[in-house]
Structure 1
Amino acid sequence: MSTAYGEFLAVGYLDHERGDEQIALVYGDVAEEGVLARLHSECLTGDSFGSRHCECGDQLAAALDAIVSEGSGILLYLRGHEGRGIGLLAKLRAMKLQSEGMDTVEANLALGLPADARDYRVAAEILHDLGVRSVRLLSNNPRKSEALQRHGIKLAEQVPLLIPPCEENISYLRTKRERMDHVLPHLDGLTHVDGMTHLNVMADSS
């Protein structure tokens, strides 16, 4: 499949347990140990509509670019992961609650839903089918790494995928770091004042 980033082999899968159709985009030779991989959770609002509420669309683009620059790699686009697994309509309801002051975790819980309902079983099964046994995972989420390892995929390295924040998503990203264990060091020192994003620089008083 020709893309704006390069020529990928598109491999389709059907999850017989859930009924979801899945796709793997494979670039180059992925038989080597520690292949660069991205498990990208479906996000219609971010990936297709350019929502600034999250960084998903930018992460998708950055991951594809990184894989091509690397010379080989895999991107799994995981259907059924919309809204961290709660579905599109529930995600929209949660986004409304967030606009009223809740954070992303509080909003899901207020709807009687888990903060994160994603299952990475099918991702591991696809990687196994493609002959992948260990990955350098493009992710800021250690829980994703742990889930892959539970399903038999070795983690050679967790590679950060850091996207510069914007005013609309700073609170969302902070919640991911503070309540969901995401590793986001680029948020250190950032504040938002009067609709702008600022970097606080501490003067050296020594």
Structure 2
Amino acid sequence: MTDVVGEPVARVVKAPAGATGVTRVVNAPLPTQYGDFEAVGYQDNDRGDEQVALVYGDIQAEGMLVRLHSECLTGDAFGSTHCECGPQLITALREIVAEGRGVLVYLRGHEGRGIGLLAKLRAMKLQSEGLDTVEANLALGLPVDARDYRVAAEMLRDLGVRSVRLLSNNPRKRESLERHGVKVETQVPLLIPPCENNITYLRTKRERLDHYLPHLDAVVQSS
């Protein structure tokens, strides 16, 4: 197969009919401003999503530093200060590089805690009118958190990662990884300084979604 200028075009690897789990499709070098990663692309055979893990260094050891990062177009790409997702992504990549090895699993299909981009934008509009992030999802008749981390566990197992130090403030990520067979040795907080635009959102995550955010105490006391 060739493209319009006669150069070879990579063929898409498809899983066999009826396959479940994930299929590794491609490994490719991915130099970034934070360090030189290897991007490992997967097909989720159950949902059809394309997924990617960024691998840094030799990960064939116990207790790998791992970040499960839920897709957030507004925060990761547009730099929204409504959430802390963009700074968390950058900080996680930097911490993995500083560690010398680790994995960041970037989970597509997780936009808006799994409700999708347009529903997330509708929820953000409701939040601008006074609802918190939990109330907004419920007002739309949507789950508070619809994310599933099964595919992340399957990707980690395919990479040979059996136990992790999990970069996360969310206890549900730890619970889900362990339920799907990946041992979490410890949970490493990923705390980003709050700003005026996200302090209410972060407080709700701590108070209603059990996220570990102790650094908000000083902000709460001074508000």
Q: Which amino acid aligns with 1:14?
A: Q
Q: Which runs of 5+ in 2 are unaligned?
A: 1-29
C-alpha displacement of 1:24: 0.4
Structure 1 residue aligned with 2:5: none
1:179 is aligned, of 169, 186, 208, to 208
Which one of the candidate residues 19, 39, 52 is aligned to 1:10?
A: 39
Q: Mapping of 1:7-156 within 5 angstroms? A: 7-156=36-185
- For residues 218 and 135 of structure 2, the distance between their equivalents in structure 1, rounded to whole angstroms, comes to 24
Separation in 1 of the partners of 2:31 and 2:71? 20
Q: State the superposition RMSD in angstroms.
A: 1.0
- Extract unaligned runs of 5+ from structure 1: 192-198, 202-206
- Correspondence list, 1:152-171, <5 A: 152-171=181-200
CA distance in 2, matches of 1:175, 1:44: 21
- Give me the whole-angstrom Cα distance separating, in 1, the residues matched to 2:122 and 2:201: 16
Aligned to 1:196: none
Residue 16 of structure 1 and its aligned partner are, at CA, apart by 1.1
Question: Letter of the aligned partner of 2:75 in structure 1?
Answer: G
Q: Does 2:217 correspond to 1:200?
A: no
TM normalised by structure 1 equals 0.93
One-letter identity of the residue aligned with 1:46 = G
Equivalents in 1 of 2:147, 2:103: separation in Å?
A: 19
Q: TM-score, length-normalised on structure 2?
A: 0.86
Distance in 2 of aligned mates of 1:187 and 1:175: 11
Give the C-alpha shift of residue 200 in structure 1: 3.2
% same residue: 76
Alignment coverage as a number of residue pairs: 194
Q: Distance in 2 between matches of 1:172 and 1:24?
A: 28
